[in-house]
Amino acid sequence: MAALKSLSFVAMPKAETNPTMIRRKEVIARLELQKSLALDAKFVRTVKTKDGEKTQKVRPTWVENPDGTCFFVLRVGFAPVEFAKGCTAIRVKSRDELPATIDTLVAAIQADLTTKSCRRRSRRRARRRLLPDRKKSHCRSRRGKNPPLFCRSARKLV
């Protein structure tokens, strides 16, 4: 018991879960995979499963033209990020310059210079959550202040 008195006990602080920071870390991790793929064409990532480890092929997010130029697309989720209005790709002179371009993107994300489209998406989601759930009445006869709980015309609960 004397050994416990020498320790200082405090309440455990809550872990902050910031969705924006989590999303940035995921994007940076995907950019690092693309950088590894740009340096080594046969790069595969190793994923831990309950049976052990397995390798997965990493698909490139750039397109290479016959003249040697590349177009790199950064995706958040399934949507490409717009860097300017209508511009979703970054043109790179050659594949050798691709890792430097990816490093620039990672530095911009870490420095909080993210695009407005990512911020707009997160704001829209937050607004949807804040609005109260309003169920529209399918009953045309009583759409006023007191809609019925059961609508006969729609044959379901409102």
CA geometry: angle at 38 spanning 33 and 41, to 5°? 100
Within-domain flag for 53:
yes
Convert 126-147 to b/e letters by CB count within 10 Å (16 or more is b): eeeeeeeeeeebeeeeeeeeee
What is the number of domains present in the chain?
Answer: 1
Within-domain flag for 133:
no
Within-domain flag for 156:
no
| pLDDT single digits (tens) 72-118 | 999 888 889 888 888 999 999 999 999 999 999 999 988 875 444 45
CA geometry: angle at 129 spanning 124 and 130, to 5°? 95
Within-domain flag for 130:
no
| Domain of 97, in residue numbers | 19-121
Q: Which of 17-31, 94-108, 125-139 has the highest average model confidence (pLDDT)? A: 94-108
Question: Rounded to two decimals, what is the model's pTM?
Answer: 0.62
Within-domain flag for 13:
no
| pLDDT single digits (tens) 39-66 | 999 999 999 999 999 999 999 999 999 9
**How do strand 52-57 and strand 62-64 relate by DSSP bridges?**
unpaired
Within-domain flag for 40:
yes
